[in-house]
A and B are shown apart, each in its own frame.
Chain A
Amino acid sequence: MSPMAVPIADYVGLSAVIFFIGVAGVIVRRNPLIMLMSIELMFNAANLLFIAFSRAWLHNAGHIFAFLVITVAAAEAAIGLAIVVTVFRTSRHVDVDDIALMKG
């Protein structure tokens, strides 16, 4: 197998940039839908690293776990969107700061 054309450090850097764009989205935005999309971005950054290291070491364990992460991300999106729909149905708030039902 030919060595990688791009050094692994570049993939780590790209993944870190995407991950922190996702973190910024969760912290800055107050729209629950866009926060969920930012979480998807973070999942994808992690997946990119799994697959890049899998290719670097020529071992397919990274592929397996990237596959499992995709499954968990799908479950997370389904539950997150269900919570958004439920909260929106009862309170009509689109700002997550207004939702303080479970505050002590």
Chain B
Amino acid sequence: MAAFWILGITLIGSAIWCITNTKPVYSVVALLLNFAALAAMYLTLNAEFLAVIQMIVYSGAILILFLFVIALLSSGVTPFSVGPNKLPRIGIPAVVVLLIALGFLTYAVNRVTANAFANTSPTSPVGPVGTAGVFGSVADFGKALFTTYLLPFEITALVLMVAVIGVILLAGDQAPYVASQKQAEEVRREMREAILRGGE
């Protein structure tokens, strides 16, 4: 009960922080806090596997993609100015965010290990995490995913393939749009020269 309210307030607060920030990098940090709190909430709902997936896919992959794009877009636009060191100013918020994330992690580890060593009878629906027959276990999840829900799973594979092809077409090599091979060579040569000139 207490966990729900703490996590809920964190979720709402970090969501508002995410959409009200002017700098996209701070929004990414807020979103990281949001995803961590959501993963902890999945743990309270007996979805251990999805909590791990949430951390790996959202916090590990999608947010890093956002950070890469922010770095890529801001590299050529705003010149890098060497000002006063801003680390002391953001130090306290950074420590707070880190401690909250660490608290969620400790809570998660406590919860999972407590479940794993719970002394229950084999027929009890509450038991060690991951064994078949327990609600939210990886075994049941995998069995359902590859038998009952095989068609949605295969359609997801198609969605991912479309995404990969779309991203390559959109952001990949720009040479296909250049009319001829000779012109493409020229573009590459100009790019090399521009790099070698080094922004004079």
Contact = CB atoms under 8 A, between A and B. Distances in A.
B166 A82 contact: yes
A83 B57 CA distance: 21
Interface of B: 1, 4, 8, 11-12, 15-16, 18-19, 21, 24, 27-28, 31, 34-35, 38, 41-42, 45-47, 49-50, 53-54, 57-58, 61-62, 65-66, 69-70, 72-73, 77, 125-126, 135-136, 140-141, 144-145, 149, 152-153, 156, 159-160, 162-164, 166-167, 170-171
B34 A41 contact: yes
Contacts of A37: 18-19, 24, 27-28, 31, 66
Interface residues of A, number: 57
Contacts of B18: 25, 34, 37-38, 41
B149 A31 contact: no
B185 to A, nearest CB: 20
Contacts, number: 162
A58 B62 CA distance: 30
Interface in A28-70: 28-29, 31, 33-34, 36-38, 40-41, 44, 47-48, 51-52, 54-55, 58, 60-61, 63-68, 70
A96 interface: no
Contacts of B28: 37
Interface of A: 1-2, 5-6, 10, 14, 17-18, 21-22, 24-25, 28-29, 31, 33-34, 36-38, 40-41, 44, 47-48, 51-52, 54-55, 58, 60-61, 63-68, 70-79, 81-86, 88, 92, 94
Given A51-B47, A75-B159, A41 B15 contact: yes
